[in-house]
Structure formats: C-alpha cells, structure tokens
Amino acid sequence: MGALDIAARRLSVTVTGEGRAAGAWAAPRRGPRRGPRTGVAELGRPRSHAVRHWVVPPNLEGDIELVAISEDQFSERMPRLKAGYAEHLRATGMSAERAAEKSEEVHARLLPDGQPRHQDRLLTVLVGGVPGGLLWLGPLDDEPGVWWVWQIEVDETLRGRGVGRAAMKEAAEVVRAGGGHSLGLDVFGDNLAARRLYDSLGFRTTKLQMRLAF
C-alpha cells in the first residue's frame, strides 16, 4: 500500500505491489461507502502501481434550512412518500396490494382532507436554498409533550452528506419551540441508513417488532 493523499475534496489512493493485485484493486467498481462519488482508476504501465481517485463531495450540514412546504413540493413529494412507505411494508413480507392499501390508510390518517393536521409541521429541507428533502413531524394526541417524526426524506443525490443529520437536529429545535420534551419515530428494520442516523443522534430503541416467514 502506498500513499494516501486527501486534498480539496479529492481523495487519491496509490497502491504499489504486484501488478495484477494493484490493478484489480484500482478498478472503479466501488467508491466510498455511500454518497455521490466518482471513481477514476489510473493503472501504471506495466501495472506495478495503481492509483484510484475519488471526488469527495462536500458535507452540506451547514447549508440547510427548514421552511413550510409549498403546494408544489407537497404534490411532488407525497406520491413518492406513499410509494416508499409501501415499499418498506413489502420488505416486511406484506403483499404488494396490502402494502399499497396500508400506506394509503396511514397517510389518510395523517392527512385528513388531504392536508396536514394543523398541529403538524410539514417542512421542506432547503439545501443551499433549493428543496432537497422533507421533514414531517407533529405532537402525539395521547401523550402530551411527545412529538413524532412522521417522515424524513433526503433527495437521493444529496444523501450521505449530512443533510439528514442536520434536519434531525433542527427537528429537535422545532419540538422545543412547540413546547415538546421528546421526539420519537418508527423505523423499519431494513432501513439501515435511517437506523444508524437515529442511533448516532442518541435515539434509543423503545420497541421492536419481529417476524418469521415460513
């Protein structure tokens, strides 16, 4: 293994050693664990060394702002949220038909008359002033002071760059400003990214649902 050089959001790693091993390593099959990335391989000739470059995108945590959702954003995002929720239900073993029905039922409860409940905050996450996600939260009816995250979504191209974390930190401020003292949420077991995010923010698991398929 040779030099590791991190400069100005560009990551280059040089591997020296056996030609084939270095060449195989540098083939741009995988980049960093997640987030937008570009991998470019340079192979030495003969292949006695190899260099792989990645463009490392900037963290956007400092560039976010929450604003009330516009009608356009609402109509654009809602069908996708419903479909995404149904997809997670499917992953639990539910039939496609039932998952779609259940997603409709859940959203109908959260959106009486097709609009958010007056006590909820349905917010657009602006990233550098441009819509890049959604955060939806509100107080529980039966537990005073407890708020719930009904949904958080970061646009796919912006994921892995700190937007979700920043939005969740802002969510805590929204709750405090609304007189709440704690924030809860549901997360599907297969949603590793979301679970890691919540774990890293200090959320603790209060309930688990399990299922065995035959």
Ligand X SMILES: CC(C)(COP(=O)(O)OP(=O)(O)OC[C@H]1O[C@@H](n2cnc3c(N)ncnc32)[C@H](O)[C@@H]1OP(=O)(O)O)[C@@H](O)C(=O)NCCC(=O)NCCS
Name the residues that contact ligand X, by CB under 6 A. Answer: 34, 152-154, 159-165, 185, 187, 191-194, 196-197, 200
Q: How far is the CB of 84 from ligand X (least distance, A)?
A: 6
Peptide bond into 36 cis (omega under 30): no
Shortest distance, position 13 Cβ to ligand X, whole Å = 20
Is the Cβ of residue 137 or residue 154 nearer to ligand X in the bound state?
154
Residue nearest to ligand X (CB): 164
User: Is residue 75 left, alpha or beta, with left meaning phi > 0 and alpha meaning psi from -120 to 50?
Assistant: alpha
Q: Are the CB atoms for 137 and 171 separated by under 8 Å?
A: yes
- Nearer to ligand X by Cβ, of 172 and 185: the residue is 185
Q: Could you tell me the smallest distance in angstroms from the CB atom of residue 153 to ligand X? A: 4
User: Residue 52: which residues within 8 A CB-CB, separation 6 or more?
Assistant: 12, 13, 15, 25, 26, 28, 39, 40, 41, 42
Which CB atom, from 24 or from 193, has the smaller least distance to ligand X? 193
Asked if residue 119 lies in contact with residue 142, where contact means CB atoms within 8 angstroms, the answer is: no
Cβ 204 to ligand X, closest distance in Å? 15
Instruction: Pick the closer one to ligand X by CB: 22 or 166.
Output: 166
